[in-house]
A and B are shown apart, each in its own frame.
Chain A
Amino acid sequence: MKVLKGRTAWAGFAAGAVLLFAVAPALLSDFRLGLLAKYLCMAMVAVGICLAWGRGGLLTLGQGVFFGLGGYAMAMHLKLADAGPGNLPDFMQLYGTATELPWWWRPFANPVFALAATALLPMAVAALLGLFIFRRRVRGAYFAILSQALAAAFAIWLVGQQATTGGTNGLTDIQGFFGYALDDPVNQRMVYLVIAAALLLLIAVARQLIHSRYGELLVAVRDSEERVRFLGYDPANVKLVAYVVAAGMAGLAGALFVPAVGIISPALIGIVPSIEFVIGAAVGGRASLVGAVLGAIAVAWAKTTLSEEFPAGWTYFQGLLFIVALAFLPGGLASLAKTVRRRKAGAPDKAPVVAVGEAA
């Protein structure tokens, strides 16, 4: 899978940067650019999924949890900044449930703590869970189900904590972003640029990891865990790193999603959104970074466009996407491109080998 190597990779990277930083802001209206910012956040999650699932065979159906942890960490800080020092966020005053700030809200008033927490909090949760799960060789379907149960439990828990997390509504109506008013289109463009830069950074990090010795190990663990163990490596650690990095990426994505959209709520991070994160990567090509990123953007775009026009139609289409992408095109659209290239080169027409995942 070293399609992008050396010079080609740099060219692609530069082209992506030009598109994101120059072409898109010049061509798109403020509204469209705002939507694109949202899609890029989905793509950031997909980068992590490409690493954990595409490369490591860890089907995580709970990325919503990490996205949510990052998002809530950021939103809590922004709420506190909006409210001013010593004041309660508006929803707490409205319900009158909390007369003073809960203790675990307090540290988020500090911008440095909040920013660090957007990535470190999800990573810590992933590390804890992964440690327990991977050490005892819980894997395959068991891991997928547990990660999904985690997403369900987290969303239910958030809904239950009406007084301190805003419950079903979540944290809404966020006004400012580190001193800049979010209703100003200029500042919205700034947020978009931050998100675009973050996406490029995450892609670079993931690419470095994939093309390192660690990346080789990760694929080896996916394809034959026992052999890696016999070679003297600990597969649990290898998987843990991929899971934790993916969680951190989802957390950052969630944190940047908040200023772009102005809201974070349990409905954005439960079971259904968690699975939706996966579908983008699956459609584009789970094992290919470019595929996963473009797939995530395309699916998010399709969702906005189609669900506005035909709300019912979108659900059917989404279901079909899952079925077609996974049953008939397991390598995603990226594998289609590769097959075509291979045919052109006159190589034997062999079906692309894809991540099989492990039998439970």
Chain B
Amino acid sequence: MTVILGQTFTGISIGAVLLLIALGLSLTFGQMNVINMAHGEFIMAGAYTTYVLQKSISSAGISLLVALPVAFLVSGALGALLEWLLIRRLYLRPLDTLLVTWGVSLMLQQLARDVFGAPNVQTRAPDALTGNVTVIGGADPLTFATSRLFILGLAVAAVVALSLTLRLTPLGRRIRAVVQNRDLAEVSGISTARVDRTAFFLGSGLAGVAGVALTLVGPIGPTMGTNVIIDAFLVIVVGGIGQLKGTVIVAFVLGVLQSVLEYSTTVSVAKVLVLVGIVAFLQWRPQGLYTLRTRSLV
């Protein structure tokens, strides 16, 4: 029983990381139909921000707290810059944005290698986040890592913040309007270009926050973004583009699935099985779990 609960929790914590990564992607993908391959490198930027801050702030706890907003701004600014320089020229060619941003991602990776060196670096976790929480004591104890719980909390906070922004603020209304019908939003007086840039800033900023979270569970390196980006894309494909609800559900389901399959087979076989599962799922719902109802033929 504890084994099952333990694996489920591991899965949920994998899901929380996936969710944090996919959340920003879902915003940019849903908003502008832009497939941002450099999203992984924005995560990396967030992680390196944490690393740099920790060099100047001695207390690990405070530096982590400072890193969250700073990483949000750093990655967000990178995203806005990318949008302004390249992506706004490519709105009608979504497949090309994929390859162009892949080029950007290659350059950012090399930049990280030149600035911080090719080997991975590590940050210290605050003392409060290094231990375990015992949930069930006794002979067969069930413990959760505190850092994992923190990430789960962070993911939940990010989802709540994003969904409140989308629901309640004027910006959120404009974003939703552009997602649902870009042309109609434009003729209603919404500056879609400005909404796009803001949404891209928010989505990329969330990548930075995800990067901070990743420093708690693994090393920081130039290729850390590439390793997670594909899983995050799969979450969005299965969840439905631009659908917050779908992203949340699918991130946790895929996390648990991955964890359980890894437990009963091997890591590599689990990856293949998850992919097979996804293709099978798309037979049932080709547009993802949740879709926007539109009148378009596609």
Residues from chain B with a CB closer than 8 A to the CB of A271 are: 226, 230
Residues from chain B with a CB closer than 8 A to the CB of A330 are: 93, 96
A132 at the interface (CB under 8 A from B): yes
* Minimal beta-carbon separation of A133 from chain B (angstroms): 7
A111 at the interface (CB under 8 A from B): no
B184 at the interface (CB under 8 A from A): no
- Chain A residues with CB under 8 Å of chain B are 57, 59, 61, 129, 132-133, 135-138, 140-142, 144-146, 148-150, 152-154, 156-157, 159-161, 225-226, 271, 275, 278-279, 282, 312, 315-316, 318-323, 326-327, 330, 356-360
* Beyond A154-B272, A322-B102, A357-B95, 9 extra complex contacts between A and B, CB < 8 Å: A59-B98, A140-B95, A141-B95, A144-B98, A146-B282, A316-B110, A318-B106, A357-B94, A358-B94
Q: Is the CB of A360 within 8 A of B94?
A: yes
Residues from chain B with a CB closer than 8 A to the CB of A149 are: 230, 233-234, 275, 278
B266 at the interface (CB under 8 A from A): yes
Residues from chain B with a CB closer than 8 A to the CB of A318 are: 103, 106
* Minimal beta-carbon separation of A89 from chain B (angstroms): 21
Q: List 6 A-B contacts (CB under 8 A).
A: A136-B286, A149-B230, A160-B266, A326-B90, A327-B86, A356-B92
A153 partner, pick from B96, B271, B282, B283, beta carbons under 8 A: B271
Q: Is the CB of A160 within 8 A of B113?
A: no
Residues from chain B with a CB closer than 8 A to the CB of A356 are: 92-93
Residues from chain A with a CB closer than 8 A to the CB of B105 are: 319
Tell me the interface secondary structure of chain B in the complex. helix
B128 at the interface (CB under 8 A from A): no
B1 at the interface (CB under 8 A from A): no
Q: Is the CB of B279 within 8 A of A146?
A: yes
Given A133-B282, A137-B286, A157-B268, the answer on whether A319 and B103 have CB atoms closer than 8 Å is yes
Residues from chain B with a CB closer than 8 A to the CB of A275 are: 99, 102
Who on chain A is nearest to B233 by CB? A145
Who on chain B is nearest to A226 by CB? B297
Residues from chain A with a CB closer than 8 A to the CB of B92 are: 356, 359
- Chain B residues with CB under 8 Å of chain A are 29, 33, 35, 86, 89-90, 92-96, 98-100, 102-107, 109-110, 113-114, 226, 230, 233-234, 237, 241, 266-269, 271-272, 275, 278-280, 282-283, 286, 297-298
Residues from chain A with a CB closer than 8 A to the CB of B100 are: 322-323, 326-327
Q: A227 CA to B213 CA in the complex, in Å?
A: 47
Q: A132 CA to B298 CA in the complex, in Å?
A: 18
Q: Is the CB of A278 within 8 A of B99?
A: yes
Who on chain A is nearest to B92 by CB? A356
A152 partner, pick from B95, B110, B230, B278, beta carbons under 8 A: B230
* Minimal beta-carbon separation of B89 from chain A (angstroms): 6
A327 partner, pick from B89, B94, B268, B298, beta carbons under 8 A: B89
Given A153-B275, A318-B106, the answer on whether A326 and B96 have CB atoms closer than 8 Å is yes
B35 partner, pick from A138, A144, A315, A321, beta carbons under 8 A: A144
Residues from chain B with a CB closer than 8 A to the CB of A159 are: 268
Q: Is the CB of A319 within 8 A of B96?
A: no
Residues from chain B with a CB closer than 8 A to the CB of A141 are: 29, 33, 35, 94-95, 98
Q: A20 CA to B26 CA in the complex, in Å?
A: 48
B99 partner, pick from A133, A152, A320, A326, beta carbons under 8 A: A326
Q: Is the CB of B237 within 8 A of A142?
A: yes
Residues from chain A with a CB closer than 8 A to the CB of B109 are: 315
Residues from chain A with a CB closer than 8 A to the CB of B104 are: 319, 322-323
Q: Is the CB of B110 within 8 A of A357?
A: no
A319 partner, pick from B110, B234, B279, B280, beta carbons under 8 A: B110
Q: A129 CA to B279 CA in the complex, in Å?
A: 8
B107 partner, pick from A129, A153, A282, A319, beta carbons under 8 A: A319
Q: Is the CB of A156 within 8 A of B271?
A: yes
Residues from chain B with a CB closer than 8 A to the CB of A146 are: 237, 278-279, 282
* Minimal beta-carbon separation of A44 from chain B (angstroms): 21
Q: Is the CB of A138 within 8 A of B282?
A: yes
